[in-house]
């Protein structure tokens, strides 16, 4: 991303999350009244372009995609907290407002949001302008420019207890990073993840970067213009071994489309999420339960 510009992709996905409010009940999986404000839309509340969401198919697909992606990670985080987990790290948090959306469920937990200074600064300004105080603890970090090996110490200085299980969320970030930053990030995550800790992340397949479908090529052109091109993907067949080499055990890995089929009525699940976009769940150490998403 550009050094001095808050992430535009973060604003886009946050707005799409808010626009879920315009969906009919059977298609709504999450509530996020905060997201639209970060894109400069709708002040502190939401002014969803209901007609756009209902009738403009490509736009609706984005909104649905965000419903599914965010819901899967919400569920995994809440399951961790229900088992007694008290620490959440949101890596590349952008305009993620879980600390606000789940203020009640997370009352006994601490949320640490780590992001690029440009994006995090914009987030804090927007929240201040709209009179919202987030209970999250902010840590600024550029994953490409600052050594990731130093981030565990910085998080500890901010109050993260490195001896306690931590749930790390890495939503919509891995595709924007270099190979070196990905490797260093996972090693850093492992360093703040004692047994019982979990990592939930989204990723795109290597194939969808190397051989993009038409819709992904169009998206790629927009992302390059925004200064946030996709750079990194994993081969799903190799992901378990890759994580294992770094001390994490893959617990679940499924495409957004598969999650959509599980979570939504068939008519709504159709067309949600390219098969090349996936959500993976991994755990650290031998202690703690699996966070694998229950399949029905
Ligand atoms: C698509 S946004 C996702 C934001 C959020 N996780 C969500 O799902 O709403 C990508 C995020 O990665 C962050 N990011 C990208 N490159 C980064 C870097 N080099 N250092 C720190 N953060 C970075 C951006 O600031 C942005 O918040």
Q: Write the pLDDT tens digit of every residue in 30-88.
A: 999 999 899 876 544 445 567 777 777 778 888 999 999 999 999 999 999 999 999 99
Residue nearest to atom 10 of ligand 1 (CA): 173
Q: Which two tokens stand for residue 61?
A: 């697909």
Q: Output the ligand 1 site: residues, CB below 6 A.
A: 1, 7, 9-10, 13-14, 92-96, 115-116, 119, 141-144, 171-173, 176
Buried b (16+ CB within 10 A) or exposed e, 263-295: bbeeebbeebbbebbbbbbbbbeeebeebebee
By most ligand atoms within 8 Å of CB, the mutation choice from 3, 4, 5, 7 for ligand 1 is 7
Confidence of residue 171 (pLDDT cuts 50, 70, 90): very high
Percent of the chain with pLDDT over 90: 72
Coil, helix or strand at residue 65: helix
Q: What is the whole-number distance in angstroms between the Cα of residue 188 and the centre of ligand 1?
A: 17
Q: What is the whole-number distance in angstroms between the Cα of residue 277 and the centre of ligand 1?
A: 17
Task: Report the C-alpha gap between 130 and 104 in whole angstroms.
Answer: 20
Coil, helix or strand at residue 47: coil
Range 246-264 average pLDDT:
97
For position 216, what pLDDT does the model report?
Answer: 79
Domains assigned to the chain: 57-284 (3.40.50.150)
Q: What is the whole-number distance in angstroms between the Cα of residue 28 and the centre of ligand 1?
A: 24
User: Is pLDDT at 126 greater than 70 in this prediction?
Assistant: yes
Range 23-34 average pLDDT:
94
Cα Rg, the chain, nearest whole Å:
18
Q: At CA 112, angle to CA 109 and CA 116, rounded to 5?
A: 165
Range 169-187 average pLDDT:
98
Helix (H) or strand (E) holding 250: strand 248-255
């Amino acid at each position: 991303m550009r050094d001095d510009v808050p992430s535009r992709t973060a604003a886009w996905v946050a707005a799409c999350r808010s626009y879920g409010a315009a969906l009919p009940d059977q298609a709504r999986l999450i509530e996020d009244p905060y997201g639209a404000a970060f894109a400069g839309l709708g002040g502190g509340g939401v002014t969803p372009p209901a007609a756009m969401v209902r009738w403009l198919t490509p736009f609706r697909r984005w909104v649905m995609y965000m419903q599914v992606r965010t819901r899967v990670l919400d569920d995994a985080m809440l399951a961790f907290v229900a088992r007694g987990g008290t620490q959440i790290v949101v890596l590349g948090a952008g305009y993620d407002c879980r600390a606000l959306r789940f203020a009640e469920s997370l009352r006994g937990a601490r949320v640490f949001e780590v992001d690029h200074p440009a994006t995090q600064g914009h987030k804090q300004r927007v929240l201040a302008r709209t009179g919202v105080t987030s209970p999250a603890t902010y840590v600024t970090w550029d994953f490409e420019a600052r050594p990731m090996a130093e981030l565990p110490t910085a998080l500890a200085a901010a109050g993260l207890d490195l001896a306690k299980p931590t749930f790390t969320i890495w939503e919509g970030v891995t595709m924007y990073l270099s190979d070196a930053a990905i490797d260093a990030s996972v090693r850093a995550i492992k360093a703040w993840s004692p047994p019982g800790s979990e990592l939930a992340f989204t990723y795109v397949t290597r194939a969808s970067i190397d051989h993009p479908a038409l819709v992904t090529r169009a998206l790629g052109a927009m992302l390059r213009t925004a200064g946030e091109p996709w750079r990194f993907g994993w081969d799903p067949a190799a992901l378990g071994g890759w994580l294992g080499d770094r001390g994490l055990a893959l617990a679940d890995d499924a495409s957004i489309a598969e999650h959509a089929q599980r979570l939504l009525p068939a008519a709504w699940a159709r067309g949600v999420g390219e098969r090349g976009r996936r959500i993976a769940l991994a755990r650290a150490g031998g202690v703690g339960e699996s966070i694998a998403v229950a399949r029905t």
